[in-house]
Amino acid sequence: MTGEHIALSWVLASRRPEQLARFYADLLGTNPKPGVAAHHWIVPLPGQGSLQIYTPSHKRPWPASGSALAPCLQRRAKADPLLELQAWHQHVIQLGGRSTEEPRLESFGAECWLEDPEGQSFLLLVLRPESSEQTI
């Protein structure tokens, strides 16, 4: 089997898939699309791939939230990564997300862990702006 037709996407269990799809689509600047069933929505990711949000079958146990795998939404800062992250952080709160910590500055930029409206963890990451000068 070759990798020509294989695509990578994320799957995320949700009790309200349409609302959660709209939340992530708004954060990513894309438009959610209905999936293969009423309980399945697809959020196209910028560039390539997708986030598939679904309600699991009643015959299966509910997946644990916020385990080892979590979405990371990242972008590169135009100026101050912490200020840009703080503004993005507030946008997430307005959309119904919850903050689990304050945005913090790191050597690579700024980051902050939050929870989506269903309590699943995700990371916001704003990388430092690219510099045309290299520092030694």
**What is the dihedral sign for C-alpha 72, 76, 80, 83?**
negative
Give the number of other Cβ atoms within 10 Å of residue 126's Cβ: 29
pLDDT band at 132, cuts 50/70/90? very low
Shortest CA distance to 52 belongs to which of 65, 68, 71? 71
Which sign does the torsion angle of CA 112, 33, 14, 63 carry? Answer: negative
**Rg from Cα positions in the chain:** 17
Q: How many CA atoms lie within 13 A of 70 on its CB side?
A: 20
Model confidence, pTM: 0.72
The pLDDT of residue 32 is 97
Read off the pLDDT of residues 21-72 as tens digits, 9 standing for 90 and up.
999 999 999 999 999 888 999 999 988 889 999 888 777 787 776 555 788 8
Q: Between the CA atoms of 74, 80, 83 and 89, what dihedral angle is there, to the nearest 10 degrees?
A: 0
Secondary element (H or E) of residue 7: none
Please write the tens of the pLDDT for every residue from 81-119.
Answer: 999 999 999 999 999 999 989 999 998 899 999 999 999
Q: What is the pLDDT of residues 59-88, one digit of tens each?
A: 778 777 655 578 888 899 999 999 999 999
Class of domain 1-57: alpha beta
Q: Where in the chain is the domain with CATH 3.30.720?
A: 1-57
Domain with CATH 3.10.180.10 in the chain: 65-136
Give the DSSP per-residue string, 78-109. Answer: SS-HHHHHHHHHHHHHHTT-EESS--EEETTE
**3.10.180.10, 3.40.30.10, 3.40.50.720, 3.40.50.300: CATH of 65-136:** 3.10.180.10
